[in-house]
Copies of this chain bind each other. A is one copy, B any other.
Amino acid sequence: MSEELVPETKESPQPPGPKPREGWKKGGRMLSVLLSVNVLLLACTLISSGAFNKVAVYDTDVFALLTAMMLLTTIWILFYLFRTSRCSDAVPYLDSHAGPIWLQGGLVLFGVCTLVMDVFKTGYYSSFYECQSAIKILHPIIQAIFVIIQTYFLWVSAKDCIHTHLDLTRCGLMFTLTTNLANWMAAVVDESIHQAHSYSDNSSHARLTSNGERSSSMAIEACPCNTTFCQIFERGYFYLYPFNIEYSLFASTMVYVMWKNVGRLIGPSHDHGHGHIPSPASLFRETLFIGPVLGLLIFVVGLGVFIIYEVQVSGDKSGIDQALILYYSFNIACLGLMTLVSLGGSIIYRFDQRTMDHHKNPTRTVDVALLMGAALGQYAISYYSIVAVVVGTPRDLLGGLNLSYSLLMIAQHTFQNIFIIESLHRGPPANQENPPNEPVHGLTYANQDALQTLPAYPSTSRLVGSTPPTPQETVTVISVSQSNWRRRCLKDISLFLLLSNAILWIMPAFGARPHFNNNTELDFYGYSLWAAIVNICLPFGIFYRMHAVSSLLEVYVLS
Residues of A within 8 A of B (CB): 1-8, 10-11, 13-14, 23-24, 26-27, 30-31, 33-34, 37-38, 41-42, 44-46, 49, 52, 54-57, 61, 353-356, 358-359, 372, 376, 379-380, 383-384, 386-387, 391-393, 410, 414, 417-418, 421-422, 425, 427-431, 434, 436, 459-463, 476, 479-480, 483, 524-526, 529
* Interchain CB contact under 8 A, B45 and A383: yes
Q: Which residues of B contact A422 (CB under 8 A)?
A: 24, 27
* Interchain CB contact under 8 A, A414 and B38: yes
CA–CA, A479 and B479, complex, Å: 66
* Interchain CB contact under 8 A, A23 and B526: no
How close is A44's CB to chain B, nearest CB, in angstroms?
8
Q: Which residues of B contact A54 (CB under 8 A)?
A: 526
Listed A/B pairs (14) with beta-carbon separation below 8 Å: A2-B463, A3-B428, A4-B427, A5-B479, A7-B460, A13-B359, A26-B425, A30-B372, A30-B418, A45-B386, A45-B387, A52-B526, A56-B391, A57-B387
* Interchain CB contact under 8 A, B460 and A418: no
* Interchain CB contact under 8 A, A376 and B476: no
* Interchain CB contact under 8 A, B427 and A3: yes
CA–CA, A387 and B43, complex, Å: 10
Q: Which of B26, B383, B392, B479 contacts A42 (CB 8 A)?
A: B383
Q: Which residues of B contact A391 (CB under 8 A)?
A: 49, 56-57, 61
How close is A433's CB to chain B, nearest CB, in angstroms?
9
How close is A349's CB to chain B, nearest CB, in angstroms?
10
- For A414, give the chain B residue with the smallest CB separation: B34
How close is A64's CB to chain B, nearest CB, in angstroms?
12
How close is A541's CB to chain B, nearest CB, in angstroms?
14
* Interchain CB contact under 8 A, A380 and B41: yes
* Interchain CB contact under 8 A, A431 and B1: yes
Most buried by B among A5, A45, A61, A421: A5
* Interchain CB contact under 8 A, A421 and B7: no
* Interchain CB contact under 8 A, A358 and B460: no
- For A272, give the chain B residue with the smallest CB separation: B3
* Interchain CB contact under 8 A, A24 and B383: no
Q: Which residues of B contact A1 (CB under 8 A)?
A: 430-431, 434, 436, 463, 480
* Interchain CB contact under 8 A, A460 and B46: no
Q: Which of B27, B41, B358 contacts A383 (CB 8 A)?
A: B41
* Interchain CB contact under 8 A, A392 and B31: no
Most buried by B among A4, A14, A387, A421: A4
Q: Which residues of B contact A480 (CB under 8 A)?
A: 1, 5
- Given the interface pairs A10-B427, A376-B41, the reply to whether A524 lies near B56 with Cβ below 8 Å is yes
The 10 A-B residue pairs with the shortest CB-CB distance, nearest first, are: A13-B358, A45-B383, A24-B356, A1-B430, A1-B431, A10-B355, A7-B353, A41-B383, A5-B461, A45-B387
